[in-house]
């Protein structure tokens, strides 16, 4: 009898135990599912840095006296930078004018000359044969006597004799040889033969004002 009761109690205990196990297991599984669902629906927690308080940063804290003394000493010992010297202004001198033998010659030997033109007849101081039909002319006595190389001796030995010049007047020109010395002429005047004068103007004109001429040799 006792054994039967014991077996009955044991069977009841086993049944009770078997009935409780599934219930507890289902509770555990349900709790786990709820935890997973809660984690999925809630956003991930982001690490939020705490806001710094201005009082904690010590921005406005006055620098220590050691730092001030160090900065003052460094600035006092700093060697001032020497100013960069300005470059000296450069000046280019114009080259001196070239000197030639022509620069030592009288002005009547250089460039175009301007004077008056007249005409004459008769032989010239340089000698030789000439007549009114040849293209010849006389230079002034000032030019004749001052011509380089002339020693004021025999007029026929003057280097100016038989030099050629080209005269121009109002668009006309003529080439003549120098054969004479004109005593009534100014320095750059020319006294032409009648034939040469006619190449520039009619003999009735008598005197050509503003006539120009150049040395050809």
Predicted confidence (pLDDT) per residue in 86-131, tens digit: 665 554 444 443 444 546 889 999 999 999 999 998 889 998 777 8
**pTM for the whole structure:** 0.53
Taking the domain 112-215, which CATH number applies? 2.40.40.10
- Cα–Cα dist 114/213, whole Å: 7
- What's the chain's length in residues? 217
User: For residue 114, what pLDDT is reported?
Assistant: 98
User: For residue 41, what pLDDT is reported?
Assistant: 47
- What confidence category does residue 40 fall into, taking pLDDT thresholds of 50, 70 and 90? very low
For 19, counting Cβ atoms within 10 Å of its Cβ (0-12 exposed, 13-18 middle, 19+ buried), the class is exposed
- What confidence category does residue 37 fall into, taking pLDDT thresholds of 50, 70 and 90? low
For 99, counting Cβ atoms within 10 Å of its Cβ (0-12 exposed, 13-18 middle, 19+ buried), the class is exposed
Structure-block tokens of residue 69: 């003394």
Tally of CB atoms within 10 A around 162: 15
User: Pairing relation of β-strands 164-169 and 113-119?
Assistant: unpaired
- Distance from CA of residue 77 to its chain's centroid? 45
């Amino acid at each position: 009898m006792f054994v039967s009761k014991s077996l009955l109690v044991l069977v009841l205990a086993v049944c009770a135990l078997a009935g409780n196990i599934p219930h507890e297991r289902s509770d555990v599984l349900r709790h786990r599912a709820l935890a997973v669902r809660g984690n999925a629906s809630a956003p991930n927690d982001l690490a939020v840095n705490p806001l710094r308080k201005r009082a904690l940063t010590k921005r406005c804290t006055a620098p220590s006296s050691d730092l001030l003394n160090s900065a003052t000493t460094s600035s006092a010992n700093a060697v001032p930078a020497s100013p960069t010297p300005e470059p000296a202004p450069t000046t280019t001198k114009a080259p001196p004018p070239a000197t030639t033998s022509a620069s030592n010659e009288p002005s009547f030997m250089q460039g175009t000359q301007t004077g008056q033109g007249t005409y004459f007849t008769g032989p010239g101081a340089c000698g030789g044969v000439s007549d009114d039909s040849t293209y010849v002319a006389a230079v002034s006595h000032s030019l004749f006597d001052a011509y380089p190389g002339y020693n004021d001796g025999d007029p026929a030995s003057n280097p100016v004799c038989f030099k050629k010049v080209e005269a121009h007047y109002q668009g006309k020109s003529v080439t003549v040889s120098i054969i004479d010395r004109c005593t009534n002429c100014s320095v750059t005047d020319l006294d032409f033969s009648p034939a040469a004068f006619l190449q520039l103007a009619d003999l009735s004109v008598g005197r050509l004002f503003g006539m120009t001429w150049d040395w050809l040799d």
